[in-house]
Amino acid sequence: MLDQVHMTSLFENATEGIILTNGKGVIVVANPAAEIMFGYSKNELVNQPIEVLIPEKFKSVHHEHREGFYKKPSNRTMGHGRDLYGRKMDGSELPVEISLSHYERDSETFVIAFIVDITGRKQIENRMLQQKAELEMVTEKIRQLNAELEIKVEERTLILKEALQKLEQSQEELSGALDKERQLNEIKSRFVSMASHEFRTPLTTVLSSASLISKYTSGDEQEKRDKHIQRIKKSVNNLNDILEDFLSLGKLNEGKLETLLEEINLGELIADTLDEMKAIIKKDQYFELELRKDCNGFTDKKLFRNIIINLVSNAVKFSEEGAKIVIRGNVKDGLASISVIDQGIGISDNDKEHLFSSFFRAANATNIQGTGLGLHIVKRYVDLLGGKVSVESELHRGTTVNFTIPVKK
Amino acid sequence: MKSVLVIDDNLEIRENTAEILDLAGYKILQQKMEKEVWRLL
């Protein structure tokens, strides 16, 4: 059992502030630690209302709290996590932690408050809070930098993509130009090989037939002379046809060809053209015309006739003697559809895709005379008339060329 | 008499050449295609 001296020493030397108040909230006793903590001299706090130690702004609330506490007193330990403040004598505030306990004596409630000055802890806490805020600021800044970086990366990626696209485009343009160049070169070399062959053949015939005529001088050799005169005529016509093809191509390339649309009896035009072409067919070849003679349409007579001549002379040229050549036609819904069908040597799949380019000769046609311009001109004439042309063919079986042109007024 | 084989895919040129050589006193053989010539030999 501790004696009174020890009890007093405990009270006097405690580092925590200890204050005892009576039932009216008046300080009965305060230990030195409490007096120093709140800036009072010895015994200055005794008989003061406890509210002198409460900051101004909490005074009225504290009064109510105190009344409540007396009505229903309960002990309260330290560290409730509540921020409490005390008021020093000079009016300044200090952060504190307080535990409360009570006892009854002569039916009066006495309250003991243990008070700890937590200024140091608060300072550390504040510093930590500040550091936390600073850390958050830095984090936020980093986040912002990251976001900016991402935007920049995106922008750069976009620029890079655009540059790549442009590069690809210029590459395409370049390869397009190269392709065109290659095509032109191809056409040029085809022209040279065609021209050397197609011109030389009739010219050689003309030359040799002319020298033979000069040798057949006697009167009974008229038949021989006639044969060579026919050969010369045929060769000259041949050369003329080649020149006609060139002229047509030249006009087409210069864009000088204009269409003159007029109402034409297409059936009659085709029939008349075929009649004229009977002069060039091979032995026993014959035409079969599957077309009403009275089908009319608006188109360019000259171009239409030329298309027919080109297609039919191809059919004649690439068919054997005695072969049938069918010309089929129909006018429906303002469209004229014409087909020229032969049973000739046909066209390989390989050659089909080049058929309409200029000076192109199919592999199986090199021994047959021709400029390689016929189908090219047909295609361009049909284009001029706003139509379409297509080819169906099988090697050794024959070829069908179809073209469709609008003939509505 | 010496023989000459005339080969050309064009009828007129082949015939005219053969005719000229014939007038010059050669015996003439005419063929259209090369492969037919090999068969002949």
Burial class (CB in 10 A: 0-12, 13-18, 19+), A209: buried
Q: Which residue range(s) make up the domain with A101?
A: 4-117
Q: In whole angstroms, give the CA distance from residue A329 to residue A225.
A: 43
Long-range contacts of A88-93 (CB under 8 A, 24+ apart): A88/A38, A88/A39, A89/A38, A89/A39, A89/A40, A89/A44, A90/A39, A93/A55
- Which of B13, B28, B32, B33 to mutate to probe the A interface, most A CBs <10 Å? B13
Q: Name the minimum distance, in Å, from the CA of B40 to any CA of chain A.
A: 21
pLDDT digit string, tens, across residues A353-368: 889 988 888 888 887 8
Does A112 lie in the same domain as A64?
yes
Does A396 lie in the same domain as A268?
yes
- What token pair was written down for A4? 């009174």
Computed over every residue of chain B, the mean pLDDT equals 81
pLDDT of residue B32: 65
Does A179 lie in the same domain as A82?
no
pLDDT of residue A290: 92
Question: Of the candidates A192, A223, A256, which is a domain's last residue?
Answer: A256
Does A209 reach chain B within 8 Å, measured CB to CB?
yes
Does A178 lie in the same domain as A294?
no
Q: Which is more confidently placed, B1 or A221?
A: A221
Question: Of the candidates A232, A256, A280, which is a domain's last residue?
Answer: A256
CATH number at residue A300: 3.30.565.10
Q: What is the mean pLDDT of residues A277-284?
A: 91
Return the DSSP state at A362. -
Question: Of the candidates A256, A286, A308, which is a domain's last residue?
Answer: A256
Cross-strand pairs, A401: A340, A391
Number of domains in chain A: 3
pLDDT of residue B36: 65
Q: In whole angstroms, give the CA distance from residue B7 to residue B35.
A: 11
CATH number at residue A198: 1.10.287.130
pLDDT of residue A174: 94
Contact A234 B16 (CB under 8 A): no
Residues of chain A contacting B11 with CB distance shorter than 8 Å? none
Does A397 lie in the same domain as A262?
yes
Residues of chain B contacting A204 with CB distance shorter than 8 Å? 13, 16
CATH number at residue A37: 3.30.450.20
Does A135 lie in the same domain as A105?
no
Does A237 reach chain B within 8 Å, measured CB to CB?
no
Does A220 lie in the same domain as A252?
yes
pLDDT digit string, tens, across residues A285-327: 999 999 876 788 999 999 999 999 999 999 999 999 999 999 9
Does A359 lie in the same domain as A269?
yes
Q: Name the minimum distance, in Å, from the CA of A207 to any CA of chain B.
A: 10
Confidence at A65, pLDDT banded by 50, 70, 90: confident
- What token pair was written down for A324? 């049938």
Does A36 lie in the same domain as A105?
yes
Spell out the residues 6+ positions from residue B30 whose beta carbon is closer than 8 angstroms to its own.
Answer: B5, B6, B7, B14, B15, B18
Q: In whole angstroms, give the CA distance from residue A37 to residue A86.
A: 9
